């Protein structure tokens, strides 16, 4: 084994934070970073950094926090580009997440004026297959997954808005090795409207906005570090249903169009990671924006309602999620779903 000192992921982050703190100076009551410290951080020459600012170089420059943010948009080094892209991605994530939460809050406030509100409880039992690039040695792990999904659906004239978060737990196995999975979707909003309706046949189209996470723990492969996949994505939706003799069958298709994804590419065997930071901060910190070139999330479902006047229905769902950059990742779920629907009529 190499005798060199190996820093854990947390020690490496602390070293970077300490380096940044030591580079901050106070001049005339303002906290600044000098140009040569900033150039070293962005991996460019000091003279090139200053030329990007003013086109000339004299005395050393001192940059405030706002100046550093503006400078990252001017430099062409990989580090500066990554820093600027990360800031834009985080800004967009926060912005659109706020819009979705505001939308949900307003919908709940005005829901009493709607003609019908439907609440659903889904019990999901599924077969789970995972291939996690090099993180699980390229092997396919097979197992099962149990989920609970709560849904609330508002009908506004011909428009339907459905909010359905989920929480689950799963276990997969290969050659006597075991892995655990925790799927979480705090935001899952679908809007649809009808474009065709005749003789019991109906076609609806719309869009889905989803914030989806899957936390993975390979206990016997990497001494316990946790891996994750995360998605903040937008998908078009198309649904077909046919109703006859008080029965109904429906088919739904949803495929990712664009969004942000993250996938933990490596691990440190010298540290056990299972903190709130790994659940919340890290998945958002490493997000990449893309479309079909980066990832794909496809869901196909078939629902059978034996009696539309009753509250029970049954579904089959195929769900595929794949990430195509770095160490590729793919996940396939075959789900059987028992849905309990509770309708509540509301009068104006």
Count of H helices and E strands in the chain? Answer: 6, 16
CA gyration radius, the chain: 25
The pLDDT value recorded for residue 69 is 53
Instruction: Report CA-CA distances (Å) from 26 to 13, 37, 62.
Output: 24, 14, 10
**Which range has highest mean pLDDT (21-35, 94-108, 252-266, 277-291)?**
252-266
* Beta bridge partner(s), residue 327: none
Q: How many CA atoms lie within 13 A of 257 on its CB side?
A: 11
> Lowest-pLDDT range, 90-94, 155-159, 178-182, 319-323?
90-94
DSSP structural state of residue 327: S
Integer Cα distance of 202 and 241 in angstroms: 5
The pLDDT value recorded for residue 81 is 47
Q: What is the pLDDT of residues 237-252, one digit of tens each?
A: 999 999 999 999 999 9
Confidence check: pLDDT of 16 > 70? no
Confidence check: pLDDT of 1 > 50? no
Q: What is the mean pLDDT of residues 297-313?
A: 94
> Both tokens of residue 326?
């770095």
The pLDDT value recorded for residue 57 is 54
Q: What is the mean pLDDT of residues 330-338?
A: 96
The pLDDT value recorded for residue 8 is 46
Mean pLDDT of the chain: 77
Neighbour count for residue 79 (Cβ, 10 Å): 13
Confidence check: pLDDT of 334 > 70? yes
Q: What is the pLDDT of residues 95-122, one digit of tens each?
A: 556 556 666 555 555 555 555 788 999 9
- Going by pLDDT thresholds of 50, 70 and 90, the confidence category of residue 9 is very low
Q: What is the mean pLDDT of residues 255-280?
A: 73
> Lowest-pLDDT range, 164-178, 185-199, 222-236, 293-307?
222-236
Integer Cα distance of 332 and 315 in angstroms: 17
Pairing of strands 295-305, 288-290: unpaired
Confidence check: pLDDT of 87 > 70? no
Helices (H), 64-157: 65-71, 78-110
The helix or strand, by DSSP H or E, that contains position 128, with its residue range, turns out to be strand 116-131
What is the phi-psi region of residue 319: left when phi exceeds 0, alpha when psi lies from -120 to 50, beta otherwise?
beta
Instruction: Report CA-CA distances (Å) from 200 to 57, 156, 250, 292.
Output: 75, 21, 11, 35
Q: What is the pLDDT of residues 204-239, one digit of tens each?
A: 999 999 999 998 887 666 555 678 899 999 999 999
The pLDDT value recorded for residue 182 is 93
Q: Spell out the domain ranges in the chain.
A: 9-76, 86-345
Confidence check: pLDDT of 281 > 70? yes
* Annotation: CATH topology of 86-345: Lipocalin (2.40.128)
Q: What is the pLDDT of residues 105-164, one digit of tens each?
A: 555 555 555 557 889 999 999 999 998 766 666 778 899 999 999 999 988 888 899 999
Enumerate residues 6+ apart whose C-beta is below 8 A from 197: 203
Q: What is the pLDDT of residues 39-70, one digit of tens each?
A: 666 666 666 656 655 554 555 555 555 555 55
**Quick check: helix, strand or coil at residue 75?**
coil
Confidence check: pLDDT of 2 > 50? no
């Amino acid at each position: 084994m190499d005798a060199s000192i190996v820093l854990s992921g947390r020690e490496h982050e602390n070293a970077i934070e300490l380096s940044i703190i030591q580079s901050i100076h106070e001049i005339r009551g303002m906290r600044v970073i000098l140009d040569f410290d900033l150039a070293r951080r962005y991996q460019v020459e000091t003279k090139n950094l200053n030329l990007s600012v003013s086109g000339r170089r004299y005395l050393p420059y001192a940059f405030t926090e706002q100046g550093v943010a503006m400078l990252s948009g001017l430099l062409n080094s990989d580090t500066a580009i990554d820093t600027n892209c990360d800031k834009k991605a985080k800004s967009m994530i926060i912005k659109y997440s706020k819009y979705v939460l505001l939308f949900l809050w307003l919908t709940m406030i005005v829901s009493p004026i709607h003609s019908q509100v439907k609440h659903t409880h889904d019990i999901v039992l599924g077969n789970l297959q995972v291939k996690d690039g090099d993180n699980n040695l390229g092997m396919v792990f097979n197992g099962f997954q149990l989920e609970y999904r709560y849904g609330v659906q508002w009908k506004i004239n011909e428009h339907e808005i459905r909010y359905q978060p989920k929480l689950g737990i799963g276990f997969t196995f290969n050659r006597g090795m075991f892995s655990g999975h925790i799927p979480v979707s705090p935001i899952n909003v679908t809007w649809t409207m009808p474009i065709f309706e005749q003789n019991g046949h109906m076609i609806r189209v719309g869009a889905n906005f989803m914030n989806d996470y899957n936390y993975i723990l390979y206990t016997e492969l990497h001494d316990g570090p946790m891996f994750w996949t995360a998605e903040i994505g937008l998908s078009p939706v198309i649904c077909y249903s046919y109703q006859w003799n008080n029965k109904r069958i429906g088919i739904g298709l949803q495929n990712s169009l664009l969004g942000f994804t993250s996938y933990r590419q490596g691990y440190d065997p010298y540290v056990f990671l299972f903190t709130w930071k790994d659940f919340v901060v890290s998945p958002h910190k490493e997000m990449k924006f893309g479309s079909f070139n980066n990832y794909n999330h496809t869901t196909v479902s078939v629902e059978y309602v034996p009696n539309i006047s009753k509250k029970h229905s049954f579904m089959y769902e195929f769900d595929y999620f794949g990430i195509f950059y770095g160490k590729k990742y793919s996940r396939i779920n075959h789900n059987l779903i028992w849905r309990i629907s509770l309708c509540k009529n509301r009068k104006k």
